[in-house]
Every structure is written in structure tokens, then in C-alpha cells.
Structure 1
Amino acid sequence: MRREEDLNERRVCIDRLRKAIEELRELQAKVHQCAERSRLVDALADARRAAEDLSQSLPVGLDPSDLVELTAVLNDYLERLYAPFQRTEGSLKIFLGNLRQLLNDLPLEPPQLRELRSEVERLEVWKRTQHFPAPAMWEMERDLPILGRKLQAMLEVLLAPSSDTVAGPQKRRQKPPVDPHIVDLKRLVREFYEDITRQGRRGDIHEQICMRLANHDRPPNVKWRSLSWPHALVRHSKAVRTWISKAIHQAR
């Protein structure tokens, strides 16, 4: 009876973990959009400060009303740009709160689960989301893919057959585990592709994707893994373009 209860609890944890991974992917897309906006926000904030400073030091006889009006327009636009940031930060706090409860409910064995949880708790986004100030968007964009890989690894540990759940003297042959790094990398490529096409940008899409990937992880076991994505595109154009094209169309 106890064994059956343990198996049922394990199945529930697996379902909850799968759902959390899907929610995290949606959250990553929102964070990526906010990170793209952050550069515009920084530039406009600099322009607003410059307008405010200039309005205080105009030569006598010049009317500062235009600068005051410009500052007001910039303030209004910045507020609208910041709105998704606040919603995304709120969504992240809720997600991580629910994830904490899920991790508390996971079994303590095997030891890999404890090790993975320890790695999750060392992430900056995990530590700082509950405190002020909240992590910056670029920190979220950096840490959430790592968090996703850790959750995927936890799921694989839970799905792996244990000695007391495999019937018969021999275990069934398991499919090779999916590399979570590759899964995350292909997802990121598809997000970049969708963002570029949605914005209607012209030019070489593969080149634009490589510029965005920059020094992001490269696939293992490829000749160009030691090069940045832009350099790899120059030196191994056909191979890089083929890999990106397959990643784009894999789930389409």
C-alpha cells in the first residue's frame, strides 16, 4: 500500500513539474520581450534626464516650456513601456512561489534531486525575486534558461525507472535522454525567428539570429562549437545555417 502511495505521489509531482516547465517557457518569452525593450527604456531615460537638466540651465530669454513638454511626453511613454516589466516581475514572483512549494513536495531521493534543487537555489533570480530590488530583466533572461534546464533534469530523474518500479529481471531499454541544453537552445532560436518575422525585418534571418545568439551556448559535437555564433556563421556558413533552419522548423 505504501509503495502504491509513493508511486502516486511521484506521478503527481511529475505532472506538476511538466506544467511548471511549460509555464516557465511562456514566462521566458515575456522576459525576452521585456529585455528587448530595456535598451529603448534606457535610451529614453537618458533623454529625459538630459531634457530635465537642460531646462534648468537655458540662457535667459529662452522659453523652457518646450523642454518641459518633451519631458512630460517622455515620462508618459516610459510609463507605458514599463507596464509589461511590472506585470512580468509579478508573474515571475508568483511562478517562483508556486515552484518553491513544488520543490518542497518533491521526494528526497534519489540524491540527484537534492543536488539539482541546491543548484536552483543558488541562482540569482531565485534568491533576489523575494527581495528588493527585483532582478533586472537581463538577469532574468540569463537565469531563466538555466532554471528551465534544472527543472528538465529533475523531470528526467523522476521519469527514470528505479529498482523498485521496474518489473522483471531486466529493465527496458530507455531512449537516450534529451539534452535540455539543446532543447532550450532550439527554443531560443525559434523565439528569435518569430520575433524577427513579426517585426517584418528584412535581410539575412540566419545572420540576425546569430547576432542575437552572440556567445550563447553552441551545440555540442559540432566543429564550430568554440566560435561565437556570428564567427561560426562566417567560417562554417552551410553547417550553421542548416542547424538553425532545422531548429526553426522542428516544432512548426
Structure 2
Amino acid sequence: MKRSLVFGDIHGGLKALIQLLERIDYSESDRFIFLGDYVDGWSESKQLIDFLIDLSQKQECIFIKGNHDAWCQEWLENDVINDIWFLHGGKSTIESYADIEFLEKEKHRQFFNDMKDYYVDENNNLFIHAGFSSMHGPEKEHYKTNYSWDRTLWEMALTMDKRIRKDSLSYPKRLLLFNEIYIGHTPTLHYNVEIPMQGCNVWNIDTGAGFYGKLTCIDVETKAFWQSDVVQSFYPEEKGRNK
């Protein structure tokens, strides 16, 4: 039976992803959906992209673009080093690319260019890195950067008064557009939670792999989830995105 397996933000933690895949009893028929932020944090960002490119040759993979991926793409294409990016994981990513050759760099550029801003599956589930603000859906979003930066969707879903019914005029129109919404971007560690969180029909799968948390994968249908060990345990001499 084909499953949709959704992965949270990885932030260069290749070893954690390899361990997580070993813990999932998956088959070639399963679909992998990655919610973005593949780079910036741990020291294997370039190696992680190599791994994902190879994985996509064997498995159906959907790659959503995160804000860190957009920064990295800008650097790969134009040699532009965003100052904020450099201080929030970009430095480790640049170092991981130190010995890349021209043809390999071109392959990586194409990989970043092919990433999706969001994806809607056959069951009307939305997969997006951060969120969207338009009540008409992400396709009507005026500011495209919201796909990888918006946190209002998650904050609204998390703090919704559970007494408000879906047929109420007060119920947020954004939440009625999709069956379920899967996001990353905002680590659940901010709420002292180490596993996926749910607010209304929004599921947050970013369990802080770039900091002191674990990397997580969740089954869309059953909500079973798997996690790696704490990612920092694979890189004991590194700080990741921790300050």
C-alpha cells in the first residue's frame, strides 16, 4: 500500500536522515515528501543534497523549498552571501561546498531550482514549508516569500478556540481550504515539545533537528511517526544552529 511519508527540517544532518530511513519500514512504492530547510546547521549540507538527489532516483520524492534553501540557492546561482543567512547556518553550508566541482555544482543548482513552493496531494492535503496568508489559498498569495517564512498560519491554528465550529463565520477561511496542512519552519522545541504537534488541521513536523532536537517523519494517513536520535549526537563537536 502506497504511503505518504513527510519529513521535517533536516539542516545538514545527513547522518540523522540515514538513521531515520533505517528506522522506517518503507517500500519503493512509498512517497517521500520533504518540507524544506535541507541545508544550514550541521556540517553535511552539500553531502545531504547529494544524498537526496540519489534518493530521488530510487524513490518518489517531493522537495519543498524552505527559507534556508532559498538563501543557499541565491548563493549557488549568484555568489551572493546574505549576511543573515551566513550567521544562521550559511557558514557551515559554504564550508561543506568547499571542494565542489563545476558539473556537480550545476546539478545542485538544478535541484534547488526544481524544488516546489508547495504541494497539494490527491486528498487535498497541503505540504508547505511555513504557511500562507491569503484566505484564497497559496496560489493566490501576494507575497511568495510567505511560503517559506509565514508563521501566522501555525500560530492561528495552534491558538484557535476549540469551541468555534467549522460552520461558524468566525472559523478561519485558510483552514477550510485543505483537508490537512503539513508544515515545518517553526521548531516544536519552542513549545517544549519534542514530537510533531497539531493545531486544528495543521501538523508541524519540525522537531528541531537543526538545534538540539530530533529529525522526524510522519505517515499522513495513520499519523504514526519515527524519529532519529538527537541530531547533535551525530556531530558532537559542532553546535549546529545553536548559539
Q: Would you say same fold, with TM above 0.5?
A: no
Structure label with greater radius of gyration: 1
RCO higher in 1 or 2 (8 Å CA, sep ≥ 6)? Answer: 2
Select the structure that is richer in helix. Answer: 1
Select the structure that is richer in strand. Answer: 2
